[in-house]
Amino acid sequence: MLAELRRAITTGRLRPGAPIRQDALADELQVSRVPLREALKTLEGEGLVTHQAHKGYCVATLSLDDLREVYRIRELLEEEAVRRAVPLLTDADLDRLEAAQRDVERAAAAGDVLAMATANRLFHMTLFDCAGMPRLARLIRTLWDTTDAYRSMYYGDGGNRERVVKEHRATLDALRRRSADEAVATLDVHRDHAVTELQSLLPASP
């Protein structure tokens, strides 16, 4: 249930800034308000929703500053994850990365925005999980979640999809050669492209 709610937000079905009507949402999720409120509390902790006493929950919106901050923190944490992961990468790990990348390419070719987002995420998380630092991976995951609602916009553009595919290939090559420096570098440009694109897509004021 919590997963379903999270997906509703990260896929953008519940729009950023929209107020959350507990009664209606509980109805929709076939559950009572108590467990829904618990789920909202965990999502609040993850920064996906905000809460004001006696006014209720809203789907969180990202300001430009927030976006930059999230991406800067990701840069720091993901570099650490990659540097830890590279020496630990097994052939099986590389196979899984390769498989994830094939999914990305398939989704990119099909223009399937949702599939693209999930495949892309799987690719990165597969890598981060190889670092053997579960807390770090979890932190990174929640940082991704906070921008996921906007990511679908990013993948709406075919050019962006193509670029992502190429950048992943570069990362994968670096990983195969066990070059942490290069892997980090390719991921940094990958991220930079995303953040510049997203900045222009972000709503004007918030």
The answer to whether residue 47 forms part of the interface with DNA (CB under 7 A) is no
**52 or 205: CB nearest DNA:** 52
CA dist., res. 134 & res. 131, Å (int): 8
The answer to whether residue 76 forms part of the interface with a copy of itself (CB under 8 A) is yes
Of 19-27, 61-69, 103-111, 124-132: span binding DNA (CB under 7 A): 19-27
Residue 24: count other Cβ atoms within 10 Å of its Cβ.
9
**The one among 4, 13, 17, 37 contacting DNA by CB under 7 A:** 37
CA dist., res. 15 & res. 18, Å (int): 6
* Contact mark string toward a copy of itself, 123..162, x via CB under 8 A: ----------xxxx--x-----------------------
For 51, phi then psi, to 5°, come to -140, 135
Instruction: Restricting to residues 15-54, name those near a copy of itself by CB under 8 A.
Output: 34, 37-39, 41-42, 44-47
The answer to whether residue 15 forms part of the interface with DNA (CB under 7 A) is no
Continuous H helices in the chain? 2-10, 22-28, 33-45, 64-85, 91-110, 113-129, 134-156, 158-176, 180-201
Closest CA to 6 of 111, 129, 118, 113: 118
Binding site for a copy of itself (CB under 8 A): 34, 37-39, 41-42, 44-47, 66, 69-70, 72-73, 76-77, 80, 133-136, 139
